[in-house]
Structure 1
């Protein structure tokens, strides 16, 4: 017989904080004990920076198919990725969580185990955890602080004409994973006795449920003594990131359809779902890869030694050339950011 679930009200606000304070193992990068004070000390210096992230149930995640442990890990990844996109390493993170009455202590423990695992993975100290009641489902607000890497910050605004455009990893997989999960959710809603059928699609499911930031890539670039001229994260699709980078740099760009990296599982899932994988790459979301540029001279000198997860997809042009993609049919197509699960640009 299963044990009775524990209501959060049994512990109360401060009992809940104390409960997880006992479970968490600090990395000892903060002057004040993690989660144990009214405020946390933050390591500040001119080269430090911070970013905030808000995740809402029903908007950013669905508890029908999202394992709570994966959600905790992913929440930290989402926050950390903003720093990675500027060539910075995370050091501290604080989390506010809004909890509805359907969340039990056991559920919250599972969520927090994912957060703890991510903090260890990214070597990031959890400096604050503040729970509160929520009438609108599970809500997480995260603030991450960190320090620029030795070669300094990299902004969106540094790209120059003739620079080579690169991306890490592959694109579109997270959206295909989401569509598979949504498909099985619809089946479950129409038949309570059905079992989810995902086939051989573990890769795209992981891309959606438990993505990981490209920390190893930044480490490899630092060892190679390479600094991108510009960089940004890919969280709302390649098209959005390209437009943001080019606007900031006051440039245009040309990318090539046949150069956009697509994983075999992404292509397989797209066929199953009758979905265009190119659209998934351009206008999908949550791939959490990095888009960056290198000067042509630097690229030519170092192209053989670049990390294997890097793909060259095009080049930067003058601003009046606009942002366009050369299709496989050799047509020039305007790149448009349609947004994904959020506000359109």
Structure 2
């Protein structure tokens, strides 16, 4: 009997692939299962390889995604995976599938955004491929980078008692998307009405032009801090925390009162009758870094405006908890983005049950 992708999901598919794929080259150090593949490099460092794809109608809507911003975002989401390994991106290759509705000038705008991101993050665009598409636009990028062998950080290194820490704030990208979708709906109903995006600059930028946390990796170096595990937040805090715990053979507990949410994200969520905490847990696309550190390293981040401890790792394998503001315990569930679901779950207004 055939298996539908909707029932399997992205990570179910990855798990299925892992069972079938056995690397044979000595230069393959670590394959499927982390933010980037780890390849042999020099005596002092490994090479890193990551790839990501953005597909029109699945990952973006050109009715509200400026093409220059889209090109910029396409680069950022890829190099974020390199930073999640505690590494530095160095090169990218870009492949586009383009339908006839796109002009040369439109594609040039996409590349303009890509090249701006490359300049800001110190990355070279060194090649790729371009082909036609029967409909829409697809952007596929592979990012290549490096990491010192004593600095590399996998998802599976968390230990019982480690603190779970997040950079920045969460939920903004998702709420930016909600504002854009709302204004699109209004426009489609009445094309005489102009979109009202006033007062939403921060969350719109979080959605349309996110930034990878290169600065966090630089801060780790200055602090002499090496996380025990790390992942970038593309699918939501809950999903990523569970990934770290599961791959480390551990459990995790997150505390609602600790989750960092920007006031603009919080207020917009309330305007949409959404629970800001659930938005932060499950919204995704923030591209912040979620990492674990030993308790002995806490003083290195204590008081930093860039980092917030949101929970801790436990020895209770496959036990994922969420503690609300009233100290009630709930099962932590991953309800964020899944690229293989035909209709991704909405972020609901109820807390994790």
For the aligned pair, the TM-score class normalised by the smaller chain equals 0.7 to 0.9
Displacement of 1:341? 5.1
CA contact (8 A) 1:234 1:290 kept: yes
- Give 3-state SS (helix, strand or coil) of 2:135's partner: coil
Displacement of 1:257? 0.3
2:348 matched residue in structure 1: none
Displacement of 1:44? 4.9
Q: TM-score, normalised by structure 2?
A: 0.82
Distance in 1, matches of 2:119 and 2:317, equals 46
Distance in 1, matches of 2:279 and 2:51, equals 26
1:303 matched residue in structure 2: 301
**Counterparts in 2 of 1:119 and 1:67: CA distance versus 1, 3 Å:** same
CA contact (8 A) 2:52 2:142 kept: yes
- Give 3-state SS (helix, strand or coil) of 1:213's partner: coil
2:191 matched residue in structure 1: 192
2:179 matched residue in structure 1: 180
Corresponding position: 1:271 with 2:270: yes
Q: TM-score, normalised by structure 1?
A: 0.84
Displacement of 1:337? 0.7
2:55 matched residue in structure 1: 56
CA contact (8 A) 1:89 1:149 kept: no
1:312 matched residue in structure 2: 309
Distance in 2, matches of 1:295 and 1:229, equals 7
Deviations, residues 296-336 of structure 1 (Å, cap 9, x unaligned):
1121x3234x7421001111111247110110111101111
Displacement of 1:243? 0.7
Displacement of 1:223? 1.1
CA contact (8 A) 1:162 1:315 kept: yes
2:123 matched residue in structure 1: 124
Displacement of 1:53? 0.8
Corresponding position: 1:342 with 2:344: no
Distance in 2, matches of 1:321 and 1:139, equals 36
Distance in 1, matches of 2:68 and 2:259, equals 31
Query: What is the aligned-residue RMSD (CA, Å)?
Result: 1.8
Larger radius of gyration: 1
Aligned residues: 302
Corresponding position: 1:203 with 2:202: yes
Structure 1 outlier segments of 4+, above 3 Å: 42-46
